[in-house]
Structure 1
Amino acid sequence: MYEAHFLAKPDFNRFPTYPIGVGHIFDEPNHFVNGMRYAENYYNIHFVVRGSGWLRTSVGSVELKPGMGFVYAEDQYQHFGTNADDPWEVWWIYLSGEGIRDLIGDKRIGDVWAFSFEENTRLIALMEELWEAAGKNDMACVPRYAALSYEILLEILLNTVDLNAPSEPGLVHAIRRAAEFMRMNCAKDLPLQKLADQCGISPAYFSRTFHMQMGMPPLTYLNMQRIELSKQMLITTSKPVKQIALEAGFSKPSYYIERFRLAEGVTPSVFRDRYMRPEALP
């Protein structure tokens, strides 16, 4: 299904960004764009929330998964689409504004800008808020439309991972070593600064490069290792769940239970009941 709200450009032209259109696409196995190009000061942004798709870049085709998105800038030829056997669900926003160039800088030059927003739930919340507001198509809401579109663009700039960032060959090995260190020491407190220092780079650059190399942000990877450690304790010991959470590296048992349920589909207690070894019983 293809749903969209289109908004007329306001007479007031001083907004840095303004949404010309906002939409939602799902259950459309034949959705694709091949060769479209927008005029000056127009930008096309997509967020994948379910399913999968592809994005053609200057170096080949990139698979798009949930938690990934892209921005096509003015004058760029657009080539993207869903995978027919796994149709995606995407939110999109069509932006215009004289202030966008200054905001995104050189990201509008050259290749399409791909990014990951995996741990940024605020982006989709903002898109849903804009979608609801745009459905009213009320000229009295023009400042709100502009403010929401500006906030969405800032979230992409400040709180997503740039998947176009180049990776230095020597850094790849350093990131792999850091990942192994995290796996072996996941129960310990591992500040991002400490991990970045091991690689000789800034925390922000470490996060971006780690995500590119390992396919997930550092915190997601660390939580995954901690959950694996906790699973071993759940099935081989009779320790309380709260104690296991702390010994596995989680500072709050409630957060541990939440992450465990998301990863395994059940709570730690249910997992233990299913798989606990008889010799571990008290």
Structure 2
Amino acid sequence: MLKPAVYGFRNDDTSILTLDSIGWQMINTPDYSFIGEERPDCGHVIFQYTMSGQGYLEYEQQRFPLTKGTGFLVKVPSSHKYFYGDQKEPWEIIWLNLRGEEANRIWDYVIAMEGPVIQRDSDSSLIQGLWKLMRMVAEEKVTDKYQLSLGVYEWMLTLVQSSREMTKDVSASTSTLIQTAKKYMRDHFADPLTLDMISEHCGINKHYLCRLFQRSEQSSPLAYLRDRRVEAAIALLRTTDLPVQDIGQTCGFDSPSYFGKIFRQYMHMTPKEYRMKKLEFPYDAIYLE
């Protein structure tokens, strides 16, 4: 049966992502306080999640209450402090510390997207993945650095995915509009579509459609349309003998020169070069979504 415990790992392998430590604790003393610029154990990142009770995080001159369902991400060293304070209820937390360049990159990405404190339900895939790592160590007695690294990579992918989903902030009706626009562009990419035509099909203003796409996809409707056209062109270049000029026209590009320009932006080579390089690029289709 899983019980509160803390586990640490030590190795000198800097070539891979490594689990530095992981733990499940019940904090009930004001002595629990860590200052990011004063810790002797530097060079790692921390994710800590509140199961119950409350603590605090001070980060860049802001104070955040760490209530149930919140987790924080910090790097050591950095300007932060997290602590229990003088509470009546114990602070139940689960956390992990990681080392490696990839962990630092992911932390920078999520903090830029959501800030240092994030909200997740305890039954979310992110937190359930954290418990899975805890059980690997505590119950399955996994200590091999490669197995642990594999588990941590999986958990970090969940972190990135959930962060992107949280920052989309798209309602059900908005999602339906975006899917309607996407289907229309997938079905009619060969036609000379305009933003006005796409928005009219969806029954909304073109400026509103662009804002929805930016919020949901961090992109634009016309960028989505261009992706689908390039995908179609790649497939035709590899699976047919159609002349390059005809392929560009078939896929909705205004002119051969424009087709060549856009194709080089995506594939860093001309359409003809891609068609010839079957050994280096043995793909009948490439998906850009």
**Which one-letter code corresponds to 2:160 in the other structure?**
L
> Distance in 2 between the 1:158 and 1:58 partners?
26
> Distance in 2 between the 1:124 and 1:193 partners?
29
Given that residues 120 and 160 in structure 1 are in contact (C-alpha distance below 8 angstroms), is that contact kept between their aligned partners in structure 2?
A: no
Given that residues 73 and 108 in structure 1 are in contact (C-alpha distance below 8 angstroms), is that contact kept between their aligned partners in structure 2?
A: no
TM-score of the aligned structures, taking structure 1 as reference length: 0.51
Matching of residue 14 in structure 1 with residue 15 in structure 2: yes
Length, aligned pairs only: 182
Paired position in structure 2 for 1:26: 26
SS in 2 for 1:85: coil
- In structure 1, stretches of 5+ residues that fail to align are 166-174, 183-188, 208-282
- Where do residues 222-237 of structure 1 align in structure 2 (5 Å cutoff)? none
Matching of residue 54 in structure 1 with residue 56 in structure 2: yes
- Where do residues 39-50 of structure 1 align in structure 2 (5 Å cutoff)? 41-50=43-52
> Distance in 2 between the 1:70 and 1:57 partners?
10
Paired position in structure 2 for 1:150: 153
Paired position in structure 2 for 1:87: 90
Matched-pair identity in %: 12
Deviation at 1:133, TM superposition (A): 2.0
SS in 2 for 1:8: coil
Bigger radius of gyration, 1 or 2?
A: 2
CA 1:72 to 1:199, structure 2 compared with 1: closer, same or farther past 3 Å?
Answer: farther
Paired position in structure 2 for 1:226: none
CA-based RMSD:
3.9
- In structure 2, stretches of 5+ residues that fail to align are 179-203, 218-289
SS in 2 for 1:148: helix
SS in 2 for 1:30: coil
Given that residues 114 and 162 in structure 1 are in contact (C-alpha distance below 8 angstroms), is that contact kept between their aligned partners in structure 2?
A: no
Cα offsets for 1:86-140 (capped at 9, x unmatched): 332110101111322333445578x97221123762222222221122236554x
Deviation at 1:22, TM superposition (A): 0.3
CA 1:161 to 1:137, structure 2 compared with 1: closer, same or farther past 3 Å?
Answer: same
- Where do residues 246-265 of structure 1 align in structure 2 (5 Å cutoff)? none
CA 1:2 to 1:36, structure 2 compared with 1: closer, same or farther past 3 Å?
Answer: farther
CA 1:28 to 1:19, structure 2 compared with 1: closer, same or farther past 3 Å?
Answer: same
TM-score of the aligned structures, taking structure 2 as reference length: 0.50
> Distance in 1 between the 2:65 and 2:209 partners?
28
